[in-house]
Amino acid sequence: MEPSRQEFRDAMARLGAAVTIVTTDGPAGRVGITASAVCSVTDSPPTLLVCMNRTSSLNPAVQANGVLCVNVLPGDAELLSNTFAGFTGADQAARFAEGSWTVLQTGAPALEEAVAALDCVVEEVVEKGTHSVVFARVQAIRLGAKRPALIWFSRNYHPVGIPE
């Protein structure tokens, strides 16, 4: 028998994940959301996998703009994460008023305080269940200061890592 939705969600809560803000900008607008469903696919060519709920405001914007930036959050960025997750009620303009933003190669917003920013072009989108799975090829990378990063584990934030 297949596990219930809740059983699956409870199991996934025990899988720690980096907290990121995924952004895009272009003809469909400047949009950003908090995401933890991001991982590497291959380093040759450098490619990421980003999962977005089909109902997310980011989904149609990324697909129309064809670019995104994955901003890996530092360990002290819980408030920024909550803002981009929509927990504060801030609209997109108010979200981007928080933090310092620049662009790298594609024009997608890159967070200056990010532990790492990976600027990408969308290569393929696969629709699966409630989500769009985006394969994005990395065009530029900016590494931030070496400091703890933010992870989501057991339905809570945790800073992790020790600077070298």
For 41-58, write each residue's pLDDT tens digit.
Answer: 999 999 999 999 999 999
> What residue ranges do the domains of the chain occupy?
20-154
Sign of CA dihedral 158, 163, 50, 96: positive
Within 10 A of 47 (CB to CB), how many other CB atoms are there?
16
Q: Is residue 163 predicted with pLDDT exceeding 70?
A: no
The DSSP 8-state label assigned to residue 82 in this structure reads: H
Q: Is residue 162 predicted with pLDDT exceeding 80?
A: no
pLDDT value of position 164: 57
Architecture of domain 20-154: Roll (2.30)
pLDDT value of position 12: 86
Helices (H), the chain: 5-12, 58-65, 78-84, 92-97
Is residue 72 within 8 Å of residue 82, measured between CB atoms? no
Q: How far apart are the first and last CA of the chain?
A: 47
Q: Is residue 36 predicted with pLDDT exceeding 90?
A: yes
Q: Which of 47-51, 107-111, 152-156 has the lowest mean pLDDT?
A: 152-156
